[in-house]
A and B are shown apart, each in its own frame.
Chain A
Amino acid sequence: MCLALLPFQVFSQDKKPEPGVFMKDPGSELWRQVRQRDMEGVGISQVRGVDSGVLINARGDQWARFRMTQLSTYGGFAIAGIFAIVILFYVVRGSVPVEGGLSGRMVKRFTDYERVVHWTLAIVFLFLAITGLILLLGRPVLLPLFGKEVFSLMASASKEGHNLFGPLFLVSLIMMLISFVRRNIYEKGDMTWLLKGGGLIGDGHASGGFFNMGEKTWYWMVILIGLVIAVSGLILVSPSLGQGRVIMELSHIVHSIGALVLMTVSVGHMYLGSIGSEGALEGMKTGYVDINWADAHHDRWGKVCHEQDLIISAEEYARSQGQKPGADKMETAEQSK
């Protein structure tokens, strides 16, 4: 390659008119190189290591300022804000009851495996969220409370816990992706749900299939943002892969913004999945939901259940939960003897 070019170079050198004396200020040239504004001209060093030839990485300070001023401030307000909103919402609207009350007649919604996947994902996610927030917001919030020594222990534990549980999030995310994806494809009718504000605003009923538009959107947020968080997290967790500082800084920004978005929305999800909406938690707890709940929140799926005669009586349901028909509470006290 070089040899092939050589003749041309000689040729062009012959042709080019030379200036008499051409020189740049050597002092400023040197420091321009050192500063590496355009991230070019990396030097070499006898000390082997990623980026060891970089003298000045100007992005580092930018990243630090972003994390300390924007990320932690807005992140903190987002988390605090969503809790405030949810509490306010609960005070104003209370638990949304199922229209016509619960019938006691149930229909199967989730298998054991699906529930195991959901709660495993939720546990791992919440663990990662808490440990991640301790790292991000601990210095302004917890350190003044506990002092450096104690907070250092908390942060060290959080960091190790976060790093160990990170890959588990990816695994449970993939399990969630596989077992729930079929029912989360957007379909006709989902738009009307959106137009009605999901039934949360006003009194109108919002139409939905097995999952309604809101749940589907939550599902895809979890999957897509979750994958971004997982990949950027894995880049951060393995410093020995040979990636440079700039990649780490970008990964951190992507990771923490994604995590904050997902954490914020997850508070809303947890509210709607528990105290916000009567009858919703049953499905994830026992696998069965009340048919009236299905009709109210997932009318198209409810219709299918009616048509295909999938509904079981209160007695059958009680038996499936190992209770004596009619008994309200499980007799665990007797059991444990």
Chain B
Amino acid sequence: MIENLIDGPLWYFSLAVFVIGVVWRLGSIIFASRKQDLSVARGAAGPAAIKTVFSRFVPHKEIVSQITVPFVAGYMFHLGLFALLFFAAPHVAFLEENLLGFGWTPMPHWAFIVASQLAFLGLIMLWVRRMVNPVSRLISTWDDHVAAILTFVVMLTGCFALLEGSTGLRLLHRFSVELWLIYFPFSALMHTFTFIPSRAFTGAWFGRRGIDA
């Protein structure tokens, strides 16, 4: 009963919410009308926009020592999560069967485990720092916490289901993924996509003004 719901309608519903929500939010950001910049351009906006999208992957030298934990843990978490999301054997198989119809070479099992260990340690450290650093805690909204915890739950249920031996644990993982997908478009999780237009916008704005940052 509940198996059919989670594997069937709820899955398509959450997928639809995710896709439509993401497209709608990205569209509303990109096509939002902005006030025209009437100032005389001192530099080119385009190249600066592209440059900023990438240059912001590296923090400024001056502050690295103050943000070591979020910097290192952040990369551990995001790279680990990306790797296991798209290259773990069960995920590749799932995407091939349920969504895409084609697959690719998954990473070996040990790499899957190491990637998830990096992701777990990174996420735990990021969340702990969010709680113990007064500034981070102050600027964290409940949305940030829900997003972090929901992502953690998805990862944890996935870890619980690693034996791939029972329907119950697989359904638990899939159900938490569905909740995550539904929450995604309306939350801080959107930064997965919005970091690009956001950086590009800042870059373009700076570029036009001739600011090199």
Contacts and interface: CB of A to CB of B under 8 A. Distances in A.
A332 B124 contact: no
A119 B159 contact: no
A44 B61 CA distance: 62
A332 B159 CA distance: 33
Given A124-B124, A164-B116, A168-B117, 12 more contacts: A116-B128, A119-B128, A156-B165, A157-B169, A160-B159, A164-B159, A164-B162, A285-B132, A286-B134, A322-B138, A330-B138, A335-B139
A325 B141 CA distance: 22
A153 B168 contact: yes
A27 B156 CA distance: 56
Which residue, of B134, B141, B168, has the highest number of chain A Cβ atoms within 10 A?
B134
B121 A168 contact: yes
A180 interface: no
Nearest to A330: B138
A11 interface: no
B132 A116 contact: yes
Given A156-B166, A322-B138, A116 B69 contact: yes
Nearest to B155: A164
B163 interface: yes
Nearest to A158: B160
A76 interface: no
A10 to B, nearest CB: 55
A156 B169 contact: yes
A101 B124 CA distance: 35
Interface string A285-303: 1110000000000000000
Contacts of B128: 115-116, 119-120, 123
Contacts of A103: none
Sort A-B residue pairs by CB-CB distance and give the 5 closest, nearest first: A157-B160, A160-B162, A322-B138, A115-B132, A119-B128
Interface in B52-94: 68-69
Interface residues of B, number: 31
Nearest to A165: B120
B132 A287 contact: yes
Contact of A160 (B117, B141, B160): B160
Interface in A304-336: 320-322, 330, 332, 335-336
Interface string B105-139: 00000000100110011001100110111110111
A168 to B, nearest CB: 5
A152 interface: yes
Task: Label chain B's interface by main secondary structure.
Answer: helix
How large, as a class, is the contact surface on chain A? 20 to 34
B133 A112 contact: yes
B169 A164 contact: no
Contacts of A119: 128, 131-132
B102 interface: no
A153 B171 CA distance: 12
Task: Label chain A's interface by main secondary structure.
Answer: helix
Contacts of A164: 113, 116-117, 120, 159, 162
B31 interface: no
Contacts of A152: 166
Which residue, of B132, B156, B161, B165, has the highest number of chain A Cβ atoms within 10 A?
B132
A161 B125 CA distance: 18
Interface in A131-167: 152-153, 156-157, 159-161, 163-165, 167
Contacts of A31: none
Contacts of A284: 132
Contact of A120 (B124, B139, B142): B124
Contact of A171 (B121, B137, B161, B165): B121
Given A116-B69, A119-B132, A336-B142, A167 B117 contact: yes
A159 B163 contact: yes
Contact of B69 (A112, A286, A335): A112
A232 interface: no
Contact of B141 (A285, A322, A336): A336
